[in-house]
Amino acid sequence: MIGFCEHSLGCEIARMYVHPDHLRKGVGSRLLKVVEESLKKQGCQETRLESTITAKDFYANNGYQVGKRTDYKGNRKEPIYQMSKKLG
């Protein structure tokens, strides 16, 4: 598997993963674009997601705005960033 991306019916991107051998090759950006197009077809005008600090710049470079930061969520001991993007 190279990667996958899941979204909810509520216009939220739930999970995204790209195998380490395929990072920085455009796979993630293409996956994200396909999911955003699918969300637009469902009538979503905006999408939201939660990002780790590791992926925050990736999403920002793909047009996502950084929102609220949560220092801990569940068992995770790293910051989580709320991010969103208008789908136009």
Q: What is the pTM of this model?
A: 0.86
How far is the C-alpha of 44 from the C-alpha of 2, rounded, in Å?
A: 27
How far is the C-alpha of 65 from the C-alpha of 88, rounded, in Å?
A: 14
Terminal-to-terminal C-alpha distance of the chain: 30
> Tell me, what's the pLDDT at 32?
94
> Tell me, what's the pLDDT at 38?
92
How far is the C-alpha of 77 from the C-alpha of 29, rounded, in Å?
A: 27
Low-confidence ranges of the chain (pLDDT < 70): 73-74, 76
Distances (CA, A) of 85 to 24, 32, 44, 49: 21, 12, 11, 9
**What CATH number should be reported for the domain holding residue 26?**
3.40.630.30
> Tell me, what's the pLDDT at 17?
84
Q: Which domain holds residue 66?
A: 3-86
> Tell me, what's the pLDDT at 76?
66
Number of domains in the chain: 1
> Tell me, what's the pLDDT at 19?
86
